[in-house]
Amino acid sequence: MSPLLENVRPGQSRANRLTMVDIARLAGVDVSTVSRALADSSRVTDETKERIRKIVEENGYVVNHGARMLRNQMAGQVLILLPNIAATFFPEVILGIEETLQKDGISVIIGSTQYDKVREDALARQLLNGAADGVILLTGRIPEVLRSYSGFEKRIVAVSRAINEPEIPYVNIDNMKAIETAVLHLVGLGYTDIAHLGGPKESPTFLARITGYQVAMEKAGLSAHLRIEAGERFNIDAGREAMEKLMRGGKAPAAVVCASDEMAMGAIRYARSQGLRVPHDIAFVGFDDIPFAGVYDPALTTIRTPRHKMGELGAQMLLKNLKASSFKPKSVIVDHQLIIRESCGGQIDQTSIPAQ
């Protein structure tokens, strides 16, 4: 008997239980189709899934997911590593990952590293000890402990934070182009004195945003106005601290492009504490379009990243990598959008401008 189906009908002997082959014969499909249908795979039509489910229900069987994972030598779990579980950016990404993996009967383990490399390595050991089949990184770096794992690149995908290693595929936006979009929008509104509040320079993501700001200012002929303050974090406190440093010289910039929405909120709070009105005296653009961006006062002009879609694509990429030894996934760049709201002044119409 196949271990993937177990009869739960009371009083029926094991000898009389149907096998996976029997279910396939009754449904008029092959055995692999039965397995995929019970895992709710998108490769099987809804009509076929329903037919197989009715046969299974009529015969009193349930799916033994543990047996499936044992047969495939899988733990049935994927580890998601993120730097801070409290950050508002990550929930939609995780939801996209979780919903996609659940279709294959795989659950997720979430590990918050708190920017601690020791904690990061401890969490990542779940791949080494077999508790997890793969790792989806939202941290922007590979835990050092995994580098000793033979073929580790087949079990790792990066999402939202690219990694500067060609063997690790990632799903991300074009961060340079996204910041260019924001800067050039401000230039189009007539701003020339535009500053940038950046995140950690050691992060490829935030370094790309800093570079994008520099490139955009050069394109606009505004190189003389370059002003950058980069912090070690990209949260509200980091935005407030970076804005304070930016204004220590005296004159505030006319506009500020921030590396995250949370940084923008912290920066706006500090600017207001110094008597500046937003957007009348100073304009702000954020990044990510987190849930609070549209209801913040003033509503935040920002770059929207398709977080749920990024999670879905990352999970799909990892699944393909785990299932096919010869598969070599390519990194994916998804589109961003400029969402225009009140914080940058100009025309306030809640419109969105897709990436060019």
Instruction: State the span(s) of the chain assigned CATH 3.40.50.2300.
Output: 74-172+307-334, 175-305+338-354
What CATH number should be reported for the domain whose range is 5-70? 1.10.260.40
More confident: 95 or 51 = 95
Higher pLDDT, 314 or 203: 314
Question: What pTM was computed for the model?
Answer: 0.72
- The CATH 1.10.260.40 domain(s) of the chain lie at 5-70
The alpha carbon of 319 is separated from its chain's Cα centroid by a whole number of angstroms, namely 16
pLDDT digits (tens, 9 = 90+) for 75-84: 688 999 998 8
Q: Which fold has domain 74-172+307-334?
A: Rossmann fold (3.40.50)
Amino acid code (one letter) for 208: A
CATH topology of domain 175-305+338-354: Rossmann fold (3.40.50)
Q: Note the pLDDT of residue 327.
A: 63
